[in-house]
Structure 1
């Protein structure tokens, strides 16, 4: 029986150190971690790897339920997948285990709270942006892809997939930029 730790934070500028240290102190080995949003399971390769190799009797350990996911359905689907493999989930803070039915009920409620918290965060963000726009100080999000490079590569005959590979972004970002450029 293995205690497999999973740590996640949403952005590159956040630290996983506290989570990893706590998981290590709880005897987790191995510990997988990643910096990616918990909004969905898309792109969460470390979590996918754990779910692929977890075996009967193993335990997936996370510091808090929201580290597993911000969507109640995703969290419950993960618990279901663990059940299918004969494994279980333990949340350290507050201590909850899916070995028994009471833990499943509490986990469901915590998942709902995490989802509600995410909605509140988005609402506060929208309110802050609206206020900043009214005050004339809103500059928008930081651009992750150089639009001029996308147009330059497109002019040389490269397609969206080649541009995305060259710039390290998604094809969808390239399509959005090219679509906006064509409309302008």
Structure 2
């Protein structure tokens, strides 16, 4: 009897955790005090959700818009947005930069500021969100922070006349913190 009760409790716990896997993660623990001021969310906002973006950024070798030569130009991202337990809860893609939840809601936004990250990683970023489309997790989001970035910088390979038009895909990961008005 004892093992039946234990098994029932264990199965109920697994079922509860599985049901929660598709839900957005919220956390009052995220603390932006260590972030550069440029990418801090203004006072009067609270964390509504946190995701980990895991994916790729595409760059293309193009002629410089000013001056002679060529350079790798950011084309766009494609990433899965996972909750802190690793379950996919949405997607990030662009252009325009779009955060889409599995529930059908999505937002775009306008970059407010960037700040340097560790060497070899794309910068930290603060984005002012546009009003969400669709009903769900993205409703009411006012700001998105990109923090804890890993990788994603332009390729180190040569971008010259011979490489003109060539695209390169670079892996990256970043935490996206979503903020609502308090």
Judge same fold: TM > 0.5, yes or no: no
The structure carrying a bigger strand percent of its residues is 2
* TM bucket, shorter chain: under 0.3
Give me the TM-score of the superposition, normalised by structure 1: 0.25
More helix by proportion, 1 or 2?
1
Higher relative contact order (CA 8 A, sep 6+): 2
The TM-score normalised by the length of structure 2 is 0.25
